[in-house]
Amino acid sequence: MKIAAASTVLAILTIGSAVFYFDFLGDGIIERFHATIDEIDGTSKVKQKRARVVNEGALFRGGAHAKESDATDTVVGQRTSKKAPRSNTNSADNKNNNHKSRRKTDVDANTTHKDQDNYHDYAVFITHYHKTGYVLSRELKNLVQEIEIQARRPDLKDQFKGHVKFEVSGIDEESRERFAFDQVGNWVRSAFPARQHDSTTQCPKNFQLKKGTIYAQESPDLFCSDEEIVSALGSSHKGGTKIVHFVRNPYDMVMSNYFYHSQDPTPEKWVHMDDPCEQFYDDGETLTSHVVNTLALELDEEVESMQHVMDGIVAMCRELYQSKEPLKEASFYEHLRELDQYDGLRLATAQMTVSSGLANRHLAGGDILRMANNLIKFKHLRDASTPNNRIELLTVSMDDFIKNTADNTHKFLNFVFGEDDSIIPNEVRRKAAQKQEYKYERKKGRAHVTQTNPEDKTKKEALREMMKGDLQLSSILNQTDILVNEALEMSGWDV
């Protein structure tokens, strides 16, 4: 492994003929696979509440990864002007149920569900978005396996160390006994196709979870009804489903996204081929058409006015992209480099909001809207959870997580393994969490990441303030920020 000492910090890991690129954040965690350093401004998280946004008039008011293969690699465990309609298809969304007191199966502040069942009776679904912890989610998934093998099958330690397979079985081939979660999803491929869905079900293709399995998923299209999602989660089996949802302040997210992709050289090749304003899927539907009803219902807004805001973002995107000389033939990346910073940020944010991802083979785009949509969907699923149909939810802020890695890793492990520590003792969990923090600190030390130039920091803060007043973009960013903060509060994080 070699580190390039410059204004960006790039780690290059070579395994056989494959070359993997990692970038290191100043906070000591790898942020993105196939990437260089992520520049994040140091500004604190905006603590917005719904009343504040109403007072500021910010509600909607009209005014690269490797190409996913169909093949599956497996390691087998062995001794080796209308309000949004309240349709029946989303009955679990009914607001009469949304504000009831939470059930004992929910994850409340600083607590986890007291797990009377074997924790393998649950499916664990870890999901994230672009710039919200791609590598972190996979490291945590692998940490679960490492702990289980250490506690239950230390004789298999060498066989599972450093695996890169898409599917890994946690069942002993000879005895057929389960010693660890099955795992689906690896460094370059999500459990299910990211940013895509079946045109019939509106869920990701082949979206079905199984108990005893932990999934790593980037940017799922959850446009199907709540009932269909519950069915796909398989939460009616003994145990249920545990969802770990990595989110981020949307302003941090779009600022990070812009500075990340406008680097020279750019970390990801798709920015050379993308049409950032492409809002359509291959079936002719737009991303906004799939989420606007859910957002309007949750936020008590009119569908028409909200759709008008979305249309305004697309129009703004078209005004900035390939509309004027000398950029009429320029790539998305060239626009990010040549436009002034504010317009470049606006174009990148439009792409991160309304783009379906079709133009770049679903490698990026639209994750602000997907995150907002899924925050609502997961909230509805949690509120509809019953003892016979358990759905537990842990919403995690990536930025907050890495500020206190040991405690937050321990919280994650307790959520996955449950309170019963007879199989995975608490001391084992705590030591694993401390080891994780130590590993991040070592990475930070090796990376020699320099402090942000004060002048650059001032410019970024000014850009951030301009985005908060942007006529096209501030509404959706403010509303998404509210949804993020509400979800984090319900999971016991300070916001």
Please state the domain extents for the chain.
123-249+368-451+482-490
Phi then psi dihedrals of residue 415, to 5 deg = -65, -45
pTM: 0.78
pLDDT over 70, % of the chain: 73
Structure confidence at residue 72 as a pLDDT band (50, 70, 90): very low
User: What is the structure's pLDDT at 142?
Assistant: 92
- Each residue of 442-483: pLDDT tens digit? 776 654 444 457 778 899 999 999 999 999 999 999 999 999
- Give the span between the Cα atoms of 388 and 117, in whole angstroms: 12
- Each residue of 103-145: pLDDT tens digit? 333 343 333 434 445 899 999 999 999 999 888 999 999 999 9
Tokens of 409: 């890793």
Tokens of 263: 């680097």
Q: Which of 53-67, 169-183, 192-206, 217-231 has the lowest mean pLDDT?
A: 53-67
Q: What is the CA radius of gyration of the chain?
A: 22
Name the nearest CA neighbour of 252 among 343, 345, 344, 337.
Answer: 345
- Each residue of 142-161: pLDDT tens digit? 999 999 999 999 998 887 77
- Give the span between the Cα atoms of 72 and 322, in whole angstroms: 40
Residues 118-143 as b or e (16 or more Cβ within 10 Å = b):
ebbbbbbbbbbbbbbbbbbbbbbbbb
User: What is the structure's pLDDT at 236?
Assistant: 55
Pick the more confident residue, 111 or 316. Answer: 316
Pick the more confident residue, 17 or 241. Answer: 241
The whole-number average pLDDT for the span 91-113 is: 39
Q: In what order do the strands lie in the sheet with 391-397?
A: 74-75, 167-168, 182-184, 213-218, 122-128, 240-247, 391-397
**CB-based contact 167:71 (threshold 8 Å):** no
Residue 295: is its pLDDT beyond 50? yes
Q: Which residues does residue 214 pair with via DSSP β-bridges, in sequence order? A: 124, 183
Angle at 251 between CA 246 and CA 252, to 5 degrees: 60
214: left (phi over 0), alpha (psi -120 to 50) or beta: beta
Go through the chain and tell me how many residues it has: 495
Q: What is the DSSP letter of 178?
A: B
- Each residue of 6-25: pLDDT tens digit? 334 444 444 443 444 444 34
User: What is the structure's pLDDT at 353?
Assistant: 99
Residue 388: is its pLDDT beyond 90? no
User: What is the structure's pLDDT at 235?
Assistant: 58
- Give the span between the Cα atoms of 23 and 21, in whole angstroms: 7
User: What is the structure's pLDDT at 20?
Assistant: 42
Tokens of 96: 């009469």
Residue 253: is its pLDDT beyond 60? yes
Residue 322: is its pLDDT beyond 80? yes
Structure confidence at residue 62 as a pLDDT band (50, 70, 90): very low
User: What is the structure's pLDDT at 94?
Assistant: 44
Q: Which residues does residue 3 pair with via DSSP β-bridges, in sequence order? A: 11
Tokens of 450: 């320099």
Strand positions, DSSP E, 95-155: 122-128
- Give the span between the Cα atoms of 323 and 428, in whole angstroms: 58
Strand positions, DSSP E, 259-411: 391-397
The whole-number average pLDDT for the span 398-416 is: 93
Phi then psi dihedrals of residue 26, to 5 deg = -65, -20
What is the distance, to the nearest Å, from the Cα of residue 161 to the centroid of all Cα atoms in its chain?
26
Residue 485: is its pLDDT beyond 50? yes
Structure confidence at residue 162 as a pLDDT band (50, 70, 90): low
**CB-based contact 481:46 (threshold 8 Å):** yes
Name the nearest CA neighbour of 136 among 418, 342, 349, 397.
Answer: 397
Q: Give 435: exposed, middle or buried? Use CB within 10 Å, 0-12, 13-18, 19+.
A: middle
Structure confidence at residue 487 as a pLDDT band (50, 70, 90): very high
